[in-house]
Chains A and B, each alone.
Chain A
Amino acid sequence: MTPLPARRLRRALRAEWTKLWTVPSTPWLLAAAVALTVAGSAGAVAAVDTSQCPTPSECFEDTIKLSLSGIWLGQAAVVVLAVQAMSSEYSTGTIGSTLAANPSRRLVLLAKATAVATTALLAGVLGVLGSLVAGRAILPGNGFTRANGYEPLSLADGPTLRAVVGTVLYLALVALLSLGIATVVRDTAGAITGVLTLLYAFPIVAQLVSDPRWQQRLERYGPMEAGLSVQHTMRLDELPIGPWPGLGVLATYAGVALLSGLTLFQLRDA
């Protein structure tokens, strides 16, 4: 592989960024991702109360993970956004012009990946910060007070910071996974269904199987379950997979999807 000339890359990047942000659906999807994340998190936090525990101090609630749980919903909007970035080029036929303007398919995919991941990071930062604010506001009212042994959520706390940064990265990796699958499938509906199945089917099947070894395997290698282990701040030794290795599993999925996408992108006619 020849090294990528910086100027061509910059131009490709600007082109992809412009394409992504000049379709009206992008700001809407970004807003949907943030809104779904914050609303889901606020709902989950509001549903949990220390009165449900034997005693308030024996809840052992992972309040950080709880406050970030809206990502379950918000990620769907990011999936749609990332898939569309590629698949809409095929459905509208603009892929022809894109490749005429920039014949290097490697560069096109790299630029798209950067644009999509940056947008996902933006959605992640906004959604996660909104969730934290919601969590801070709601948690004390439900008994998660300092008196009961729960410090208010704060980014100065190491594990909290890891969970927050990890969740933002999670969203970017989901976007890359979606982009990779969309490049392989080249069809909006198929790619979205495929990504959502990959994300949501693992935890569902894991609930079903009765064998704990299988259950652990599914939780360890499912892209969503593994990736979101980065949100845990308590009882890390009991997780099927550690926080960062878990995010690594998702990164592997995203990498494999992008590489298969790139290979097919280079082999196939547009």
Chain B
Amino acid sequence: VTRLVLAEWTKLRSVRRWVMTLAAVIGLTALVAVIEASSRSGDAEEGEPLEQPDFADELHFVHQPLSGDGSIVARVVSQEDSHEWAKAGVMVKERLEVGAPYAALLVTPDHGVRLQWDFGNDVAGSEGGATPRWLRLTRSGDVVTGYESSDATNWEEVGEVDLDDLASTVEVGIFVTSPMSMEIERQYGSSAVFEEPTLGEAVFDHVRLEAADGSPSPGDGEWRDYDASIEPGLGGSTESNGVFTLTGSGDVGEVWRPFGDDLVQTSLAGATVGVLAAAALGALFITAEFRRGMIRTTFAASPGRGRVLAAKAIVLGGATFGAGLVASVVAFLVSQASFRTTTRTPGLPELSLANPTVLRAVVGTAVLFALVAVLSLAVATIVRHPAVAIPVVILPLLVPAIVTTGLPLSVATWLTRLTPAAGFAVQQTIERYDTAIAPLVGLGVLAAYAAVALGVATMLLRRRDA
């Protein structure tokens, strides 16, 4: 096999046109990155600084101060199913200020009981539609512990949170919030995707403070309103005989940006054009042998046809992986250099090749090139003509990316999942509203296409006359 691989490698590197095609993989990918980067620097001149916090702190909070250690206990009687991640529960918050440290124990319509703190930390409690449910947050020094119960006698610990340097007097109380929901509307031949606020509502009773020893504490006796809903006036609260009804809108926690720019994917997107060269090379690598009758010499020298194809796949995959890696690293560096001098979307990890997510996208792009070339080799072995093989490989790769704007989002999503175009998912580094498939799963779809095609090709190659 080593000899075979060596033979195929010699063939590949000694045809000038093929080496140029490999160079085209790099050139096309980098060229698109340069075009994209230069079009973006136009933005910087007009100046659109993106300064957004990477967390949200929007809620309706009914609170009172708690000095020293103690607990807040409440029962969530019911919660409206305004959003799968609508939140209602008890909270310890250092100050009434956006971004102040907090710990919250809450119920959600679809994700059970959760203990969350400091924007982005999350521990799951019991699952399932949990109301009515008793919730308790106990503060002891810097440590806040969450308990839940269905009957107020058997308490189960959900988790423990260490809020560093928590002030001695904090605000405790009950809160309600409900995140934006995604709406898709089709008009003028394309889909508009936008977010709409939802209004969360929940009913609480048995709201009380407890002192450090567990005895009921009167607090200062007065519950105050703090409305930081996403739109002022959306939140409200009423109280009668100890039953609180709260409404609120927004989210507390890490922000999901459904419309965020995936800067890594953008910088690598030239691969959509670069794969064309990889597909052409893959097809030519075998059809040139068919056309010139070379294949008979090849098979005379090594009658194991499956092995010949395997050697071809290894050499071709290796070469396109190498060229693809150069292409994606160059494209990434070119593009990032321009991003650094222009705008940066916050909330993204530091964009360097040392970042594992970035590295996955960059190396994954090189794997993508290799898989497309091998897929093309296999298809070309099946159809034995580059004129058929190249469009058969290229069309399913590119057309989904082009038609997605005109088709409904759900159709576009399925088209991306089921075609070899799924492989491009490996370039994603953030989750957006239009994310169709997980990065490695997408690459797996493409790999499956390549593997099946290679299997059929081996079978036909053995069965047919050369």
Residues of B within 8 A of A62 (CB): 188-189
Residues of B within 8 A of A158 (CB): none
Closest CB of chain A to B280's CB: distance in Å?
A: 4
Q: Which of B39, B391, B403, B405 contacts A196 (CB 8 A)?
A: B391
Is the pair A211, B187 in contact by a Cβ cutoff of 8 Å? no
Q: Which of B188, B399, B405 contacts A234 (CB 8 A)?
A: B188
Is the pair B40, A210 in contact by a Cβ cutoff of 8 Å? yes
A172 to B288, CA, bound (A): 30
Q: Which of B17, B272, B277, B284 contacts A204 (CB 8 A)?
A: B272
A193 to B387, CA, bound (A): 9
| Closest Cβ neighbor of A80 among chain B residues | B387
- Interface locus among B71-79, B96-104, B406-414: B406-414
Is B32 an interface residue, CB under 8 A from the partner? Answer: yes
Is the pair B276, A69 in contact by a Cβ cutoff of 8 Å? no
Is the pair A193, B280 in contact by a Cβ cutoff of 8 Å? yes
| Closest Cβ neighbor of B394 among chain A residues | A196
A52 to B190, CA, bound (A): 10
Residues of A within 8 A of B266 (CB): 208
> Could you mark each residue 65-97 of chain A with 1 if its beta carbon is under 8 Å from any beta carbon of chain B, else 0?
110010011001101100110010001000000
Is B301 an interface residue, CB under 8 A from the partner? Answer: no
Is the pair A47, B408 in contact by a Cβ cutoff of 8 Å? yes
| Closest Cβ neighbor of A47 among chain B residues | B411
Is the pair A188, B387 in contact by a Cβ cutoff of 8 Å? yes
Is A214 an interface residue, CB under 8 A from the partner? Answer: yes
| Closest Cβ neighbor of B267 among chain A residues | A208
| Closest Cβ neighbor of A205 among chain B residues | B32
How many inter-chain contacts with C-beta < 8 Å in the A-B complex?
Answer: 131
How many A residues touch B, CB cutoff 8 Å? 47
Closest CB of chain A to B334's CB: distance in Å?
A: 14
Residues of B within 8 A of A91 (CB): 291
List which A169-198 residues lie within 8 A (CB) of chain B: 188-190, 192-193, 196-197
Is the pair B386, A52 in contact by a Cβ cutoff of 8 Å? no
Q: Which of B187, B405, B407, B408 contacts A207 (CB 8 A)?
A: B405
Given A44-B403, A193-B279, A211-B40, residue A54 in contact with residue B398 (CB < 8 A): no
List which B378-392 residues lie within 8 A (CB) of chain A: 386-388, 390-391
Is the pair A192, B387 in contact by a Cβ cutoff of 8 Å? yes
Residues of A within 8 A of B17 (CB): 190
Is A48 an interface residue, CB under 8 A from the partner? Answer: yes
Is A240 an interface residue, CB under 8 A from the partner? Answer: no
Residues of A within 8 A of B191 (CB): 52
Q: Which of B32, B277, B403 contacts A69 (CB 8 A)?
A: B403
| Closest Cβ neighbor of A48 among chain B residues | B408
Q: Which of B188, B283, B401 contacts A60 (CB 8 A)?
A: B188
Given A193-B390, A197-B273, A208-B32, residue A61 in contact with residue B399 (CB < 8 A): no
A213 to B388, CA, bound (A): 37
Given A188-B387, A197-B273, A200-B398, residue A69 in contact with residue B185 (CB < 8 A): no
List which B9-54 residues lie within 8 A (CB) of chain A: 17, 28, 32, 35-36, 39-40, 42-43
Consensus secondary structure, chain B interface: helix
Is the pair A66, B189 in contact by a Cβ cutoff of 8 Å? yes
Given A91-B291, A211-B43, residue A188 in contact with residue B273 (CB < 8 A): no
Residues of B within 8 A of A214 (CB): 35, 39, 42
| Closest Cβ neighbor of A46 among chain B residues | B411
Given A65-B189, A200-B402, residue A189 in contact with residue B390 (CB < 8 A): yes
Is A7 an interface residue, CB under 8 A from the partner? Answer: no
Is the pair B186, A52 in contact by a Cβ cutoff of 8 Å? yes
Given A193-B276, A204-B401, residue A61 in contact with residue B189 (CB < 8 A): yes
Closest CB of chain B to A214's CB: distance in Å?
A: 4
A148 to B233, CA, bound (A): 38
A71 to B46, CA, bound (A): 39
Is the pair B411, A192 in contact by a Cβ cutoff of 8 Å? no
CB pairs A–B below 8 angstroms (22 shown): A66-B406, A69-B406, A80-B391, A189-B390, A192-B390, A192-B391, A196-B398, A197-B273, A197-B276, A204-B269, A205-B32, A205-B36, A207-B402, A209-B35, A209-B36, A209-B39, A210-B43, A211-B39, A211-B43, A213-B42, A214-B42, A234-B189
Binding site for B on A (CB under 8 A): 25, 44, 47-49, 52-54, 58-62, 65-66, 69, 72-73, 76-77, 79-80, 83-84, 87, 91, 188-190, 192-193, 196-197, 200-201, 203-205, 207-211, 213-214, 234-235
- List the 6 shortest-distance A-B pairs measured between CB atoms, nearest first: A189-B386, A52-B186, A209-B39, A214-B39, A211-B39, A193-B280
Supplied contacts A65-B189, A204-B272, 20 more A-B pairs, CB within 8 Å? A25-B387, A47-B408, A47-B411, A48-B408, A52-B185, A53-B185, A60-B188, A61-B188, A69-B403, A72-B402, A73-B399, A188-B386, A189-B284, A190-B280, A192-B390, A193-B276, A193-B394, A205-B273, A208-B269, A209-B35
